A and B are shown apart, each in its own frame.
Chain A
Amino acid sequence: MQQPTFRTEPQGRAALVNLTPELVTSLDLRLTGSLGWEEICDQDRLSAVLEQGTLQSDVVLLGAGVDKPVAAAQHVHRFDKTISVLILVDPDHYAELRRAIMFSPLRGSEVSLWSSTDIDGLSGALMAAVERRVQRRTYLSTIASTQLRLGRLSLSQPEANRYLDHLLDHAPVGILSIDRAGLVLNLNRQAGQILGVVEREALGLPLADFFPQSERKRFIELITQSAAASTPNTAEVFAVRPAHGTVRFLEATASPLAYHVGQRGFMLILQDVTGREKAERERKRAEEDLRVHAGLLHVFHKITSAQGLAFEEKLIRLLRLSCERFKLPIGMLSRIDGEYHEVLVSIPGNGAFAPGRRYRPPDIYWGTCEQTADQVGSEEASDRDSAARPADPDSRLGAYIGVQVMVDGDIFGALCFRSIEPRSTPFSSTDREVLKLMAQWVGSELQRTKSEAHMRRLSSALEQTAETVIIADKNRLIEYVNPAFEQLTGYAKNEAIGQKSSFLRHDILEPSFYEKLWQSVSGGQVFRGVLANRKKDGAIYFEEKTITPMRDPEGKITHYISTGHDVTEKKNAEEAARRHQAELAHVARLSTLGEMTSGLAHELNQPLCAITTYAQTCLRLLSAENCSQSEVRYGLEQVVKQAELAGAIFRRLRNFARKGEFVRQRVSMRNIVAEVADLIKAELAQSEIILKVEGVRATTYVEVDPIQIEQVILNLIRNSMDAMAGNGAIDKNLTIRTEKIGKTEVKVSISDTGHGCRPEVVERLFEPFFSTKPTGLGIGLGLSQTIIEAHGGKLWLESTCDAGATFSFVLPSHTGSRHVNSEDKAANGLHRR
Chain B
Amino acid sequence: MSTAKTKQPTVYIVDDHPAVRDSIRWLVQQVGLAARTFASAKEFLASPDPDMHGCLVLDIRMPGMSGLELQEYLAVAQVSIPVIIVTGHGDVPVTVRAMKKGAFDFLQKPFNDQALLDSIFAAIRKHEEICTEKERRAEEEQNLASLTSREREVLELLRAGKSSKVIAADLDISVRTVEGHRANIMLKMNAKTVGQLIDLASKRDSAPG
Residue of B nearest to A613 (CB): B23
Contacts of B113 in A (CB 8 A): 612-613, 616-617, 620
Q: Cβ of B111 < 8 Å from any Cβ of A?
A: yes
Structural contact, B63 and A612, CB atoms closer than 8 A: no
B64 touches which one: A612, A631, A688 (CB < 8 A)?
Answer: A688
A603-624: CB near B (< 8 Å → 1, else 0) gives 0011111111110110011000
Residue of A nearest to B15 (CB): A606
9-residue interface stretch from B24-32, B48-56, B97-105, B137-145: B24-32
User: Smallest Cβ distance from A630 to chain B, in angstroms?
Assistant: 13
Interface class of chain A by DSSP:
helix
Structural contact, B19 and A685, CB atoms closer than 8 A: no
Q: Cβ of A602 < 8 Å from any Cβ of B?
A: yes
Q: How far is the CA of A298 from the CA of B64 in the complex (A)?
A: 119
**Known contacts A616-B113, A685-B16: does B89 contact A602 (CB below 8 Å)?**
yes
Q: Cβ of B20 < 8 Å from any Cβ of A?
A: yes
Interface residues of B in 1-53 (CB under 8 A from A): 16-17, 19-20, 22-24, 26-27, 30-31
Contacts of B88 in A (CB 8 A): 601-602, 605-606, 609
Q: Cβ of B93 < 8 Å from any Cβ of A?
A: no
Q: Cβ of A635 < 8 Å from any Cβ of B?
A: yes
Structural contact, B27 and A606, CB atoms closer than 8 A: no
B17 touches which one: A601, A610, A612 (CB < 8 A)?
Answer: A610
Q: Cβ of B112 < 8 Å from any Cβ of A?
A: yes
B73-109: CB near A (< 8 Å → 1, else 0) gives 0000000000000001100000000000000000001
Residue of B nearest to A598 (CB): B89
A616 touches which one: B19, B22, B27, B63 (CB < 8 A)?
Answer: B27
A629-657: CB near B (< 8 Å → 1, else 0) gives 00100110010011001000000000000
Structural contact, A602 and B61, CB atoms closer than 8 A: yes
Contacts of A614 in B (CB 8 A): 23, 26
Structural contact, A606 and B19, CB atoms closer than 8 A: yes
Q: How far is the CA of A303 from the CA of B35 in the complex (A)?
A: 130
Q: Cβ of B110 < 8 Å from any Cβ of A?
A: yes
A631 touches which one: B20, B30, B31, B109 (CB < 8 A)?
Answer: B30
**Known contacts A613-B23, A638-B22, A688-B64: does B109 contact A605 (CB below 8 Å)?**
yes
Structural contact, B63 and A613, CB atoms closer than 8 A: no
User: Smallest Cβ distance from A731 to chain B, in angstroms?
Assistant: 13
Q: Cβ of A665 < 8 Å from any Cβ of B?
A: no
Q: Cβ of A687 < 8 Å from any Cβ of B?
A: yes
Residue of A nearest to B25 (CB): A613
Q: How far is the CA of A609 from the CA of B115 in the complex (A)?
A: 14
Q: Choose among A616, A621, A634 the residue with the greatest number of B CB atoms under 10 Å from its CB.
A: A616
Structural contact, B110 and A608, CB atoms closer than 8 A: yes
User: Smallest Cβ distance from B61 to chain A, in angstroms?
Assistant: 6
Q: How far is the CA of A616 from the CA of B61 in the complex (A)?
A: 24
Contacts of B64 in A (CB 8 A): 688
Structural contact, B63 and A686, CB atoms closer than 8 A: yes
Residue of A nearest to B28 (CB): A617
Give me 16 A-to-B residue pairs in the complex whose CB atoms sit less than 8 angstroms apart, sorted by A's number.
A602-B88, A605-B89, A606-B19, A606-B109, A608-B110, A609-B88, A609-B109, A610-B17, A610-B20, A613-B23, A613-B26, A614-B23, A616-B27, A616-B112, A620-B30, A638-B23
B interface list, Cβ under 8 A from A: 16-17, 19-20, 22-24, 26-27, 30-31, 61, 63-64, 88-89, 109-114, 116
Known A-B contacts: A598-B89, A609-B109. Give 19 more (CB < 8 A).
Answer: A601-B89, A602-B89, A605-B110, A606-B109, A608-B109, A609-B23, A609-B110, A610-B19, A610-B23, A616-B113, A617-B27, A620-B27, A621-B30, A638-B23, A642-B19, A645-B19, A685-B63, A688-B63, A688-B64
9 smallest CB-CB distances across A and B, nearest first, come from: A610-B19, A613-B23, A612-B110, A609-B109, A616-B113, A606-B17, A605-B88, A609-B110, A617-B27
